[in-house]
């Protein structure tokens, strides 16, 4: 535990959130992040995250057509996502007023 609960793990947190919505491959994750952020992360950024999440037992590779590897959350991944979401809210929720002032 703890992989997603620090600032370095922010990408891991986002990847877990996306995979929680549907099983995804590394390329699908990169495309989704590009849509959301306007910048497509390199394979050298996304695949080490997937490897670490897999080694920590948070995601699992599933069989799919061809050579494409897709991933799904494990039970431990669901728990980790709940912990990371709580932590994210604790850190950022009370800053809503600060961000509102910046936008004006």
Residue 86 sits in a domain of what CATH number?
Answer: 1.10.10.10
pLDDT at site 48:
93
pLDDT at site 63:
79
Judge whether 67 lies within some domain.
Answer: yes
Judge whether 1 lies within some domain.
Answer: no
Judge whether 63 lies within some domain.
Answer: yes
Residue with structure tokens 């992989």?
Answer: 3
Q: How many domains does the chain have?
A: 1
Residues in the chain, total? 104
pLDDT at site 103:
42
Inter-CA distances, 39 with 16, 26, 36, 42, Å: 19, 15, 8, 9
Question: How does pLDDT run along the chain (104 residues), one tens digit per residue?
Answer: 444 544 457 899 999 999 999 999 999 999 999 998 888 888 898 999 999 999 999 999 997 777 888 999 999 999 999 998 888 887 777 765 655 544 44
Domain range for 82 is 7-103
pLDDT at site 24:
95
């Amino acid at each position: 535990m703890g992989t997603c609960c620090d600032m370095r793990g922010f990408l891991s947190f986002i990847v877990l959130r996306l995979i929680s919505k549907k099983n995804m491959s590394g390329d699908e994750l990169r495309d989704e992040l590009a849509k959301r952020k306007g910048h497509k992360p390199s394979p050298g950024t996304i695949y080490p995250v997937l490897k670490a999440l897999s080694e920590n037992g948070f995601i699992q590779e599933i069989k799919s057509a061809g050579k494409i590897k897709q991933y799904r959350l494990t039970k431990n991944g669901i728990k980790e996502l709940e912990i990371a979401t709580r932590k994210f809210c604790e850190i950022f929720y009370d800053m809503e007023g600060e961000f509102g002032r910046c936008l004006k």
